[in-house]
Structure 1
Amino acid sequence: MGGSSSSQQAAQSQTPTFFTQEELSKLKSEFATGGVEKVKPLLEKKVTGLTNTELNIAVTGDTGTGKSTFINAMRGLCSEDEGAAAVGNTETTMKPTGYPHPNLPNVRYWDLPGTGSTQFIAGSYLREMQFKKYDFFIIVSAGRFRENDAKLAKEIKWLGKRCYFVRSKIDADLYSMRRERKEFDEGAEMEMIRSDCVSGLGKAGIPNTTVFLISSFEPDRYDFNRLKEALEDDLTNIKKRAFILALPIESVEIVRKKNEILKKDIWMLATLSGGVGAIPIPGLSLACDIGILIGAIIHFQECMGLDDASLHRLANRTGKPVEELKAAVKPHLLGKITPDVIARIGWGTAVVTVSALELALNVIPVIGSIFGAGSSFLMTLKILRDALKDLTENAERVVRVAFEIN
């Protein structure tokens, strides 16, 4: 009984989570009447939809609170990187400025003009800022949250969107306190700052609020991880997927979350690759759709931060030489992925254990055991699983080197 239960749990972990019940029913009925060829357009549409999912995050607050630095940190950039939000400039524009993620351009952070004017009216501000386009709002302050912040938060909540309070530059505050006092307790000082922020918001009419204390220069410290988890938890499945895949690799936990998401894409890609018109890969005995296969592995590589541009950005942020980060990655995973690379690495060349794969596949709607043991579906499935496993292990090593994690 114990083995059966654990097998079922293993199988359940492979169940796709990005489909509605209606979509699953349609997949089943289409397969029943037209087989794989009738299912493929539905899967192609879903894969395209997942890739093109838009996530728009609004960041607002007064001028000088560190909005631009925060936006850069959320995208894994420092101010010198290409595409970074300009830091330290006087705010003059009254239009939102969008900053796309470097690898996932449909994920955008929007720097909204400051809210410090004495003429500030929350409703008018949100209309001018095109309120409806944003999935949620982050209000940033470098000190106490002000009356305008509270007004804006009330209006955002009234209009049915989520709002989060971020107290930035906590590292600078703690540094000053540490220099001034002989006895210093960082945890106690943070709680005093947090309580002061919460108390101020309570007096402004927003009680029992969570305030996240962060430093945009130290994303692995203070409340930065708690903030990311809160944002993630409040998003729907498909939006959550986009948010996690866009996170910079700053912890082993983030790398593993990305792995779990990408694993759930693999069966769809394998189904598409297992269709008619596949081309043999040099060095492998089976045919696969090379475009799908290589495109997927390059996407995995970028999501895991192992492409050349991502490694350089991580080196800039952490002060580690890029050569040191690259030394943590197997040489064949650096640079361009080609059919020759796939054959040379040996992804997918081992014997495919059909029974083990069927266990994972029997909960996947429609697909089940329609492909034989020698099919390109199973081979593509195995190649992508092996590739993702390799990339995940290498990304974990890079994180440990970059952030000096044991």
Structure 2
Amino acid sequence: MNTVFAGQGHYTRKVHLGFKFDFKDLVKTLEGNLPDHKKDALMLSLPVYSIQSLKKKYSTFQKAVWAVAVVSAGIATAPVPGLSPACDIAMVTSFLTKCYFSFGLNDNALRKLSERVDKPILEAVKESKLVQAIASKSLLPAKMAARLGAAGVIEALFSLVPLAGSLTAAGVSFVTTRSVLQEGLDELYRVAKMVIEMAELE
């Protein structure tokens, strides 16, 4: 039995009521009746239940990579020593932590999944240095932090040059931050995909 609610705006929400339902069908129904920005929010909030759901999360985060990089570029134009690298590290850490939890790579989620499928998934995941760093709430892996720090030094030097220097600093910040974010996102996606394969989720 379907109950139809008149939603605010130009769409209608359909909610299927009953004692039994297919989770994938429910998600598909919700996605079909939500505007794009709410679809993204829904997808990121749901658990990873299949390779397709993981790919959708990955695509959504990919769009966010550009947005964070643009903010980084804007901050790089400010003539404040040390501001850009500090903000970049904070933004990258926050972004990758969101990916980590959204992909279901936190210890609690993996422990439950390991018990359910009777496989050592948690141990396998911790082979990733990035996952280890996020799980322990420590700094970014040395390689990532070093790249952001080096970019910060270059940006500081360019910012000493009026006008053109600030634009160059913004470009360096954008490219470096986007590269680090994409690298981290790809690594977490790789690990999450491995989890799905180990758990034999379709």
Assess same fold via TM > 0.5: yes
From 331, 340, 355, give the equivalent of 2:128. 331
Matched letter for residue 85 of structure 2: A
The residue number in structure 2 matching 1:291 is 90
Q: Is the 8 A contact 2:62 2:182 kept in 1?
A: yes
Matched letter for residue 375 of structure 1: V
- Give the 3 Å change call, closer, same or farther, for CA 313–371 of structure 1 in structure 2: farther
Structure 2 unmatched ranges of 5 or more: 149-166
Matched letter for residue 103 of structure 2: M
Residue 188 of structure 2 is aligned to residue 388 of structure 1: no
Structure 1 unmatched ranges of 5 or more: 1-144, 170-213, 215-222, 281-285, 350-369
Residue 30 of structure 2 is aligned to residue 231 of structure 1: yes
* Equivalent-residue separation in structure 1 for 2:114 and 2:81 (angstroms): 39
* Equivalent-residue separation in structure 2 for 1:378 and 1:260 (angstroms): 19
SS at match of 2:104: coil
From 118, 129, 141, give the equivalent of 1:320. 118
* Equivalent-residue separation in structure 1 for 2:171 and 2:90 (angstroms): 20
Q: Report how many residues are paired.
A: 175
Residue 13 of structure 2 is aligned to residue 162 of structure 1: yes
The residue number in structure 1 matching 2:69 is 270
From 79, 94, 108, give the equivalent of 1:309. 108
SS at match of 2:141: helix
* Deviation sequence 1:55-93 (CA, Å, 0-9, x none): xxxxxxxxxxxxxxxxxxxxxxxxxxxxxxxxxxxxxxx
* Equivalent-residue separation in structure 2 for 1:278 and 1:165 (angstroms): 56
Deviation at 1:329, TM superposition (A): 5.1
From 187, 198, 202, give the equivalent of 1:401. 198
The normalised TM-score by structure 1 is: 0.38
The residue number in structure 2 matching 1:66 is none
Matched letter for residue 234 of structure 1: N
* Deviation sequence 1:111-166 (CA, Å, 0-9, x none): xxxxxxxxxxxxxxxxxxxxxxxxxxxxxxxxxx5xxxx7xx26x35998523224
Q: Is the 8 A contact 1:267 1:381 kept in 2?
A: yes
- Give the 3 Å change call, closer, same or farther, for CA 253–279 of structure 1 in structure 2: farther
Deviation at 1:278, TM superposition (A): 7.0
Aligned-residue sequence identity (percent) comes to 24
* Equivalent-residue separation in structure 1 for 2:52 and 2:7 (angstroms): 34
Q: Is the 8 A contact 2:40 2:60 kept in 1?
A: yes
* Equivalent-residue separation in structure 2 for 1:232 and 1:398 (angstroms): 25
Per mean C-alpha deviation after superposition, the further-off stretch among 325-334 and 386-395 is 325-334
* Equivalent-residue separation in structure 2 for 1:158 and 1:287 (angstroms): 44
The structure that has the greater radius of gyration is 1
* Equivalent-residue separation in structure 1 for 2:191 and 2:53 (angstroms): 13
Matched letter for residue 168 of structure 1: F
* Deviation sequence 1:247-278 (CA, Å, 0-9, x none): 11111111110011111111221122231347
* Equivalent-residue separation in structure 2 for 1:302 and 1:347 (angstroms): 24
* Equivalent-residue separation in structure 1 for 2:171 and 2:35 (angstroms): 37
Q: Is the 8 A contact 1:330 1:394 kept in 2?
A: no
- Give the 3 Å change call, closer, same or farther, for CA 371–315 of structure 1 in structure 2: farther
- Residues 74-223 of structure 1 mapped to structure 2, 5 A cutoff: 153=3, 156-157=5-6, 161-169=12-20, 214=21, 223=22
- Residues 26-41 of structure 1 mapped to structure 2, 5 A cutoff: none
* Equivalent-residue separation in structure 2 for 1:166 and 1:384 (angstroms): 41
- Give the 3 Å change call, closer, same or farther, for CA 166–305 of structure 1 in structure 2: same
SS at match of 1:327: helix
The normalised TM-score by structure 2 is: 0.70
SS at match of 1:389: helix
* Equivalent-residue separation in structure 2 for 1:389 and 1:163 (angstroms): 35
- Give the 3 Å change call, closer, same or farther, for CA 329–255 of structure 1 in structure 2: farther
The residue number in structure 2 matching 1:247 is 46
* Equivalent-residue separation in structure 1 for 2:16 and 2:170 (angstroms): 53
Identify which of structures 1 and 2 has the higher relative contact order when contacts are C-alpha pairs closer than 8 Å and 6+ apart.
2
Matched letter for residue 179 of structure 2: K
* Deviation sequence 1:279-305 (CA, Å, 0-9, x none): 49xxxxx93622112111111111111
SS at match of 1:163: strand
More helix by share: 2
Q: Is the 8 A contact 1:329 1:397 kept in 2?
A: no
SS at match of 1:375: helix
